Structure 1
Amino acid sequence: MNTKDLREKSVEELNAALDEQQLNQFRLRMAKATGQLGKTHEVQVARKAIARIKTLLTEKQGNGQ
């Protein structure tokens, strides 16, 4: 997920992408905990994607101030 692509999305689309990424992160964490995840770096990639989306949401919402 590219930041440039995310900037073009609306707040509603970003919220949907955030929900999707959080569900993906949950699945990855459960797979890692049960020893079924071969590529453990994917957990970190998902976490960073969530942070990117949250940062853009804050920017689009006017920093909440």
Structure 2
Amino acid sequence: MTSLTELHEMSDEQLEATCKEAAETLFRLRFQSQSERLNTPSEMRKNRRLIAQIKTIQTQRERSASAT
């Protein structure tokens, strides 16, 4: 799990790749939770939170770029 400061230090391309990877992982976890019992149900929450944090950072960067 990456910390919030690490996410802020990432470039836009790295953030997009991390978000895509987290979304794929979340998809697999959702599929697994419907077909069988998850070993670590908290992973779904962690991935949802990571995606939300990344999207928040991306939105902040877009707004700061448009304000300038």
TM-score scaled by length of structure 1: 0.88
Deviation of the 1:21 alpha carbon: 0.6
- Superposition map of 1:45-64 within 5 A: 45-62=46-63
Q: Which has the larger radius of gyration?
A: 2
What is the distance in 2 between the residues matched to 1:45 and 1:60?
Answer: 23
Deviation of the 1:11 alpha carbon: 1.1
Structure 2 runs not aligned, ≥5 long: none
Aligned-pair RMSD on alpha carbons? Answer: 1.6
Partner in structure 2 of residue 23 of structure 1? 24
Partner in structure 2 of residue 7 of structure 1? 8
Deviation of the 1:36 alpha carbon: 4.0
Report sequence identity in percent.
31
User: Which region of structure 1 is more displaced relative to structure 2, 36-45 or 22-31?
Assistant: 36-45
Contact 1:24–1:46 (8 Å) recurs in 2: yes
Instruction: Indicate how the Cα distance of structure 1 residues 63 and 26 shifts in structure 2: closer, same or farther if over 3 A, else same.
Output: farther
Partner in structure 1 of residue 45 of structure 2? 44
Question: Moved runs in structure 1, 4+ residues, more than 2 A?
Answer: none
Contact 1:29–1:43 (8 Å) recurs in 2: yes
